[in-house]
Homo-oligomer: A and B are copies of this chain.
Amino acid sequence: MTTLAPEISVSQWFNTPESPTLKSLRGRPILLHTFQMLCPGCILHAIPLIQNVQRVFGKTDLAILGLHTVFEHHAAMKPVSLQAFIHEFKINYPVGVDEAGDPGPMPITMETYRLRGTPSTVLINRKGEMAASSFGHLDEMTLGATLQSLISESQE
């Protein structure tokens, strides 16, 4: 038996009028992409990769969610800075701000998912179960194959 992926905790959303939750997206495969706006690996590799996912899988029902998981330099990456970053890098998928942890520096979703840093990629299947979680660089072809597998799965 597999358990459901835990719900995400988001304090503010960009690029969406709604507040998406994993539960509201149940039935669709989800790519949850966590990043920090000042993380070089995120800017140089992960965000272009996710934007390519949008291009390749844009006609499927894959849901793409960005999550800004700030765990260092908090004062440097406040929402006002993130908003300009999203604009300048032409990011148009929904991006949430991971809710601040208390008292530690780690935000809540990052802590819940035990992510090791940024960028991280979490894949959730149509049933709401965690299918994969990885930290760091992902290969384009491998990600293409993995997403296709998730999309091809029937919900049941």
Q: Is B144 touching A142 in the complex (CB atoms < 8 A)?
A: yes
CB contacts under 8 Å to B, within A52-66, are 52-53, 56-57
**Copies of the protein in its oligomer:** 4
- Interface flags for A113-156 (1: CB within 8 Å of B; 0: not) read 00000000000000000000000000111111111110010000
Known: A83-B76, A84-B76, A88-B40. A56 touches B142 (CB 8 A): yes
Considering only CB atoms, which chain B residue lies closest to A60 in the complex?
B145
CB contacts under 8 Å to B, within A85-119, are 85, 87-89
- Interface flags for A47-81 (1: CB within 8 Å of B; 0: not) read 00000110011000000000000000101110011
- Interface flags for A16-60 (1: CB within 8 Å of B; 0: not) read 000000000000000000000011100110000000110011000
Residues of chain B with a CB closer than 8 A to A152's CB? 148-149, 152
